[in-house]
Chain A
Amino acid sequence: MATLRNKLRPFLRARSAWLAGCVALASCLGYGQAVNSCLDCHSAQPGALEVTPEKFSQDIHAQKGLTCVSCHGGDASSYDPDQAMNRKTGWKGKIDRKQVPQLCASCHSNPAYMRSYNPSLRTDQLDQYHTSMHGKRLAAGDTKVAVCTDCHSVHDLRPPSDPRSTVNPVNVAKTCSRCHSDAAYMKQYGIPTDQFAKYSTSVHHDAMVVRGDLSAPTCTTCHGNHGAAPPGVDKVQNVCATCHAFQAQMYEKSSHNKAFQERSLPGCVVCHSNHGIQLPSDAMLGTGPAGVCMKCHAPGDHCDRARADILANLTQLDRAVKDADRALRLAESSGMEVSEARLSQDQALDSLTKARVTIHSFQTALVDQDVQAGMKIASANLKAGQDAMVERNHRRIGLGVCLIAIAIMLIGLWLYIRKIES
Chain B
Amino acid sequence: MFAALIRWLDERLNLDGLLAPFKHKTVPTHRLSYWYFFGGITLFLFIVQVLTGILLLLYYRPGANEAFESVQYIVTRVQFGWLIRSVHAWSANLMIFTAFVHMFSVLFLKAYRKPRELTWVTGVILLFLVMGFGFSGYLLPWNTLAFFATKVGTEIAGQVPIIGKPIMIFLRGGEEVTGATLSRFFGFHVAVLPGLVTVLIAVHLFLVQRQGISVPPKLEVQWTENPSQRREMKFFPNFMLREMMAWYVAMGVLGALAAIFPWNLGVKADPFVSAPAGIKPEWYFLFMFQTLKLIPSKVWFVDGEVLGVLGCSLAGMLWLLLPFFESDQPARTKAWITGLAIFALVYVIGMSVYGYVAQ
Within 8 A of B (CB), among A363-422: 395-396, 398-399, 402-403, 406-407, 409-410, 413-414, 416-417, 420-421
Chain B binding surface, main DSSP class: helix
Report how far A417 CA is from B239 CA in the complex, Å. 9
Task: Tell me, rounded to whole Å, the shortest Cβ–Cβ distance linking B50 to chain A.
Answer: 21
Within 8 A of A (CB), among B54-89: 72, 75-76, 82-83
**Do A399 and B255 contact each other (CB < 8 Å), given the known contacts A337-B76, A337-B82, A421-B238?**
yes
Query: Is A339 at the interface (CB under 8 A from chain B)?
Result: yes
- Quick one: closest A residue to B83, CB to CB? A395
Task: Tell me, rounded to whole Å, the shortest Cβ–Cβ distance linking A286 to chain B.
Answer: 39
Whether B82 contacts A420 by the Cβ 8 Å rule is no
Whether B259 contacts A398 by the Cβ 8 Å rule is yes
Query: Is B9 at the interface (CB under 8 A from chain A)?
Result: no
Whether A414 contacts B238 by the Cβ 8 Å rule is no
Whether B262 contacts A337 by the Cβ 8 Å rule is yes
When the two chains form the complex, which single residue of B82, B83, B245, B259 contacts A413, counting CB atoms closer than 8 Å? B245
A-chain residues with CB within 8 Å of residue B262 when the two chains form the complex: 335-337
Q: How many residues of A contact B (CB 8 A)?
A: 21
Whether A417 contacts B259 by the Cβ 8 Å rule is no
A-chain residues with CB within 8 Å of residue B76 when the two chains form the complex: 337, 340
**Do A403 and B261 contact each other (CB < 8 Å), given the known contacts A413-B245, A420-B237?**
no
Whether B248 contacts A406 by the Cβ 8 Å rule is yes
Whether A406 contacts B237 by the Cβ 8 Å rule is no
Whether B252 contacts A337 by the Cβ 8 Å rule is no
Within 8 A of A (CB), among B198-253: 237-238, 241-242, 244-245, 248-249, 251-252
A-chain residues with CB within 8 Å of residue B242 when the two chains form the complex: 417
Q: How many residues of B contact A (CB 8 A)?
A: 24
- Quick one: closest A residue to B71, CB to CB? A337
B-chain residues with CB within 8 Å of residue A413 when the two chains form the complex: 241, 244-245, 248
Query: Is B264 at the interface (CB under 8 A from chain A)?
Result: yes
Whether B251 contacts A406 by the Cβ 8 Å rule is yes
Whether A395 contacts B237 by the Cβ 8 Å rule is no
When the two chains form the complex, which single residue of A336, A395, A414 contacts B245, counting CB atoms closer than 8 Å? A414
Query: Is B4 at the interface (CB under 8 A from chain A)?
Result: no
Report how far A420 CA is from B261 CA in the complex, Å. 39
Task: Tell me, rounded to whole Å, the shortest Cβ–Cβ distance linking A330 to chain B.
Answer: 14
Whether A406 contacts B265 by the Cβ 8 Å rule is no
Whether A417 contacts B241 by the Cβ 8 Å rule is yes
Whether A396 contacts B260 by the Cβ 8 Å rule is yes
B residues touching A (Cβ–Cβ < 8 Å)? 72, 75-76, 82-83, 237-238, 241-242, 244-245, 248-249, 251-252, 255-256, 259-265
Q: A337-B72, A337-B265, A402-B255 are in contact. List 14 more A-B contacts (CB 8 A).
A: A337-B76, A402-B252, A406-B255, A407-B252, A409-B248, A410-B245, A413-B244, A413-B248, A416-B241, A417-B238, A417-B242, A420-B237, A420-B238, A421-B238
Query: What are 8 A-B contacts with C-beta separation under 8 Å?
Result: A335-B260, A339-B265, A402-B252, A402-B255, A403-B252, A406-B252, A414-B245, A417-B242
3 closest Cβ pairs, A-B complex: A399-B259, A335-B262, A406-B252
